[in-house]
A and B are shown apart, each in its own frame.
Chain A
Amino acid sequence: MSEATTTVPAPTARAIPLPARRVLLVPVLLFGLLALLPLAVSLGLPSHWLTLVTRAMIFAIAALSLDLILGVGGLVSFGHAAFVGIGAYATGIMITEGLAETLLILPVVLAVCGLFGLVTGYVSLRTRGVTFIMITLAFGQMVYFLAQALSAYGGDDGLTLYQRSTLLGFDAFGNRIGFFYVVLGVLLACYLLVRVIVASRFGRVLRAARENATRVSVTGFQVSQVRLVAYVISGLIAGLSGFLLANQTEFVSPAFMSWPRSGELIFMVVLGGVGSLHGAIIGALAFLFAEDVLAGWTEHWKAIFGPMIVLFVLFTRGGIVGLMRKLGAGRDD
């Protein structure tokens, strides 16, 4: 099939140039600030921050992957924590069995998450709307109960790891600052990857199908296939964050994939701003900071956090990124 030919009458098809590419101020600033954090810690910022931000970036990877299907694809998946948990468990089980090499673990993590995404995605994507939400939630819960039943690997109590993953035999993730930069690097790589995918031909179809699946289908695309691929990619990236999470906490537990975790991931995405990708990262950072502050304040922090979510949903639109955009627009006027 030829690409550039058309039978449309085109004497002089004049192309009006695209508007200038928007400056990516916010993402650049975001990653710049993150990269400077270890410096700030060495200059006197509490070292607790390093752990907190590392953890937040790990969740940011998961939230980013969720944004690909939820924000870009319009599919509200309520079982995304399952991918994080599967990635973490695959890592934990392999380390427990004496296979700590990252180059062995990662392919397994990706294969298991991909397979889980393929099977559950195929079934879930046969439905839409509310049913899709409920099914993804149920599949997530299935994995949660499966992990609870894995008595050989800690069952309900979870599994403590006596070692981190090694890279080519070295304890590559042992240094806290080193691990911080590893996580930052993975986050940046995932962010760029998802951006490229969203801007690609594939991403355009995914975006279009969110708004008008019928039109996309009569234009010649198989919508369910596109969504399934996006769902699997999203699951792979979330699995990666599970690998990092297991290495940071040196512990894996069914709680990683309990359904409130999936709810929290959704909140991170919405808090930051749905579909903007860097919004998911900002949302994850804001979420973990808020959790940290509130939890340090009272053990009943969820009684404050819950109403905050409700008020946020009822009274704000567009999340943090939307707010920044409004402020930016106000300044331009």
Chain B
Amino acid sequence: MTTGLLIVQILNGLQLGILLFLVAAGLTLVFGVMDFINLAHGVQYMLGAYLAVTFVGITGSFVLGLVLALACALVIGLALEFLVFRHLYARDHLDQVLATFGLILLLNQGVKMLWGAAPLSVPVPAFLSGNVALLDGILYPTYRFALIGSGLAVGALLWFVVEKTRTGMLLRAGASNAPMVSALGVDINKLFMIVFAFGTMLAAFAGAMAAPILSVEPGMGDNILILAFVVIVVGGIGSIRGAFVGALIVGLVDTLGRSFMNDLLRLFMSAPSARAAGAALSSMLIYLVMAIVLFVRPEGLLPSKGRA
């Protein structure tokens, strides 16, 4: 294990963490404010990626494609909100889980029908295609730096909106006490729609930004959804700060575990058994972390204030 490799893997972990944060932030806001569990959130990430494939292909420009993809994802998201989600806010969690599960089946299959089952990709935009030299002469792709940077920028923007604006204040209040916000005379339905649109955009943005470096395929949203759940559980429901910290923990633990578990186990056992055990253990690592966090703090690391 060299320092260079370690740095590269830490950057990879950060990058996964940033993607997870973008997905988990929307999810946790929707939970927090609306008490609504939306399994279809991962599908919105997937749609972001597929729409990026299409629009970047049509326009030939990454930035323009990204903007169009986001706009289109927003329209689809609002349509789903109007047709389905809106009718579920007052239902129990079981109904919410089931109906959004049905949507996942539809949208995963729909994507397969429209774009085919084979993995697709988006070319890395030319202006971000180079590499950045790290120490030891190790190169790291510029685009991945751009992804981390834009994710952090969106995170900062989110922090600003939630902490410094009136809408953000209502969001925070809603996360801890929705009836009170509604008693203040705020149109709760409008607030829900804004929250929802916001979450959809974040997920679609994450999907579109991931499209040049991950393979775009049906079901890609499901895995990220479950990782986002782990993030939220670790960070604490309804808390943006918790989602950020949780996402970085999960991203780093998962990435570093997968790259270094073998080497670590090699210290104790033979190479083949280290490989077998390493594969098994590293795939379980984040879930073990989650279990430990829950064991110590059932409400997560940074639960939103006012929630029991």
- Complex A–B touching at CB under 8 A: yes
Instruction: Check A141/B226 contact, CB under 8 A, given A303-B113, A306-B104.
Output: yes
Contact B283 A310 (CB under 8 A): no
From B90-98, B155-163, B165-173, the one touching the partner chain is B90-98
Instruction: Check A308/B233 contact, CB under 8 A, given A123-B291, A145-B284, A266-B97.
Output: no
Instruction: Give chain B residues whose Cβ lies under 8 Å from the Cβ of A126.
Output: 294-295, 298
B140 close to chain A: CB less than 8 A: no
Contact B229 A134 (CB under 8 A): yes
Instruction: Give chain A residues whose Cβ lies under 8 Å from the Cβ of B229.
Output: 134-135, 137-138
Instruction: Give chain A residues whose Cβ lies under 8 Å from the Cβ of B93.
Output: 76, 129-130, 133
Encode A284-319 as 1/0 by CB contact (under 8 A) with B. 000000000000000010110111111011100000
Instruction: Give chain B residues whose Cβ lies under 8 Å from the Cβ of A145.
Output: 283-284
B290 close to chain A: CB less than 8 A: yes
Q: In the bound complex, what is the Cα–Cα distance between A126 and B291 (angstroms)?
A: 11
Contact A309 B99 (CB under 8 A): yes
Closest to A126 in B: B298
Residue of B93, B94, B99, B288 with most chain A CB atoms under a 10 A cut-off: B94
Encode B71-90 as 1/0 by CB contact (under 8 A) with A. 00000000000001001100
B213 close to chain A: CB less than 8 A: no
Instruction: Give chain B residues whose Cβ lies under 8 Å from the Cβ of A129.
Output: 93
Contact A270 B94 (CB under 8 A): yes
For chain B, the count of residues having a C-beta within 8 Å of the partner chain is 46
B188 close to chain A: CB less than 8 A: no
Q: In the bound complex, what is the Cα–Cα distance between A135 and B295 (angstroms)?
A: 12
A135 CB to nearest B CB, Å: 6
Instruction: Give chain A residues whose Cβ lies under 8 Å from the Cβ of B276.
Output: 149, 151-152
From A131, A148, A313, give the contact of B98 (CB < 8 A).
A313
B6 CB to nearest A CB, Å: 23
Contact A133 B37 (CB under 8 A): yes
Contact B105 A305 (CB under 8 A): yes
Instruction: Give chain B residues whose Cβ lies under 8 Å from the Cβ of A260.
Output: 101, 104-105, 222
B88 CB to nearest A CB, Å: 8
Instruction: Check A76/B287 contact, CB under 8 A, given A126-B294, A306-B104.
Output: no
Contact A138 B98 (CB under 8 A): no
Q: In the bound complex, what is the Cα–Cα distance between A137 and B37 (angstroms)?
A: 13
Contact A146 B280 (CB under 8 A): yes
Q: In chain B, residues 200-250, which have Cβ atoms closer than 8 Å to a Cβ of chain A? A: 222, 226, 229-230, 232-233, 237
B10 close to chain A: CB less than 8 A: no
Contact B284 A302 (CB under 8 A): no
A104 close to chain B: CB less than 8 A: no
Closest to A152 in B: B276
Instruction: Check A148/B294 contact, CB under 8 A, given A134-B232, A267-B98.
Output: no
Contact B287 A142 (CB under 8 A): yes
Contact B237 A130 (CB under 8 A): yes
Closest to B295 in A: A123
Instruction: Give chain B residues whose Cβ lies under 8 Å from the Cβ of A300.
Output: 109, 112-113
Contact A306 B112 (CB under 8 A): no
Contact A306 B294 (CB under 8 A): no
From B31, B102, B113, B232, give the contact of A306 (CB < 8 A).
B102
Instruction: Check A310/B233 contact, CB under 8 A, given A123-B291, A126-B298, A130-B93.
Output: no
Q: In chain A, residues 82-139, which have Cβ atoms closer than 8 Å to a Cβ of chain B? A: 120, 123-124, 126-127, 129-131, 133-135, 137-139
B159 CB to nearest A CB, Å: 23
A78 close to chain B: CB less than 8 A: yes
Instruction: Give chain A residues whose Cβ lies under 8 Å from the Cβ of B44.
Output: none
Instruction: Give chain A residues whose Cβ lies under 8 Å from the Cβ of B88.
Output: 313-314
A70 close to chain B: CB less than 8 A: yes
Instruction: Give chain A residues whose Cβ lies under 8 Å from the Cβ of B87.
Output: 314
From A137, A138, A310, give the contact of B99 (CB < 8 A).
A310
Q: In the bound complex, what is the Cα–Cα distance between A310 and B38 (angstroms)?
A: 13
B103 close to chain A: CB less than 8 A: yes
Encode A310-333 as 1/0 by CB contact (under 8 A) with B. 101110000000000000000000
B213 CB to nearest A CB, Å: 21
B27 CB to nearest A CB, Å: 10
A259 close to chain B: CB less than 8 A: yes
From A120, A137, A274, A310, give the contact of B102 (CB < 8 A).
A310
Q: In the bound complex, what is the Cα–Cα distance between A300 and B109 (angstroms)?
A: 6
Instruction: Check A306/B98 contact, CB under 8 A, given A138-B229, A152-B276.
Output: no
B217 CB to nearest A CB, Å: 15
Closest to B39 in A: A263
B249 CB to nearest A CB, Å: 14
Contact B280 A149 (CB under 8 A): yes
Chain B residues at the A interface, C-beta cutoff of 8 Å: 31, 35, 37, 39, 84, 87-88, 91, 93-95, 97-99, 101-110, 112-113, 222, 226, 229-230, 232-233, 237, 276, 279-280, 283-284, 287-288, 290-291, 294-295, 298-299
**29 A-B contact pairs sorted by A residue (CB < 8 Å):** A76-B94, A123-B291, A127-B294, A127-B299, A130-B31, A131-B233, A131-B237, A134-B37, A134-B229, A135-B233, A138-B226, A138-B229, A138-B230, A141-B226, A149-B283, A259-B222, A260-B105, A263-B97, A266-B97, A267-B102, A302-B108, A303-B113, A305-B105, A306-B103, A306-B106, A306-B109, A309-B102, A310-B99, A314-B87
7 more A-B residue pairs beyond the given contacts A76-B97, A305-B105, A308-B102, with a C-beta to C-beta distance below 8 A: A130-B37, A149-B279, A149-B280, A274-B94, A303-B105, A310-B102, A310-B106
| Those 9 A-B pairs whose CB atoms lie nearest each other, nearest first | A309-B102, A306-B106, A306-B105, A142-B287, A145-B283, A134-B229, A303-B109, A126-B298, A149-B279
